[in-house]
A and B are shown apart, each in its own frame.
Chain A
Amino acid sequence: LAKTTQPISMDSYEGQEVNITCSHNNIATNDYITWYQQFPSQGPRFIIQGYKTKVTNEVASLFIPADRKSSTLSLPRVSLSDTAVYYCLVGDPGAAGNKLTFGGGTRVLVKP
């Protein structure tokens, strides 16, 4: 499974856009990029998944350049409740077991 590198922490303010970039230089052809969010004392929650270009849902956008060696999660107009740890994962969701490899994640702190 491809390894990922992302910033350890980021601070932001309410109403701002937060962009978290993840590096995955060894991404394989069948790999997708998936982001999870984890609040304290809770299990991770799926945010978004993509393969290339741009994916948008009601929560976030995911930007993936043509070489797919990095990706950027964009959280528009964050609120205090977006304070959490965000994990970038790379893997083949069609592989047996749908196993996930979590790194350390990015701790996002949203301030008033």
Chain B
Amino acid sequence: NAGVTQTPKFQVLKTGQSMTLQCAQDMNHEYMSWYRQDPGMGLRLIHYSVGAGITDQGEVPNGYNVSRSTTEDFPLRLLSAAPSQTSVYFCASSLRRGLAGYNEQFFGPGTRLTVL
């Protein structure tokens, strides 16, 4: 298993440009999430999905769109990049469990985005 993969690893954009960050997992996980991490800070949830065709907003959704057409893929779209979106973006996935307890999230290696 490759686990959670993200592309690209690095990206530089100009203000106003749009782009899509790719995320894929091969563990048949139902839950997928996008987080951003600013320097020296913890991670903040952008959007998440509980299954194909279902997405919802997290803590900081403005300026980002997501879709989940398949179980494996969960792309994050920046509509019009702004310098405030300069950050490291992490995608994560986990199993859906009917009962609470032991629900590990698996994180990808991250995408470092700089917006000039």
Question: A-side interface residues toward B, CB under 8 Å?
Answer: 30, 32, 36, 41-46, 49, 51, 87, 92-94, 96-105
Contact = CB atoms under 8 A, between A and B. Distances in A.
B110 A42 contact: yes
A97 B95 CA distance: 9
Given A45-B107, A97-B31, 14 more contacts: A42-B109, A44-B43, A44-B107, A51-B101, A93-B97, A93-B101, A93-B103, A94-B100, A97-B49, A98-B33, A98-B96, A99-B33, A99-B45, A102-B43
A41 B92 CA distance: 15
6 contacts: A32-B103, A46-B105, A93-B102, A94-B97, A94-B99, A97-B31
Nearest to B91: A43
Contacts of B59: 101
A101 B50 CA distance: 17
Contacts of B33: 97-100
Interface of B: 4, 31, 33, 35, 41-45, 48-50, 56, 58-59, 90, 92, 94, 96-110
Summarize A's interface: helix, strand, loop or mixed.
loop
Contact of A49 (B58, B90, B99, B104): B104
Contact of A101 (B31, B45, B49, B56): B45
A84 to B, nearest CB: 13
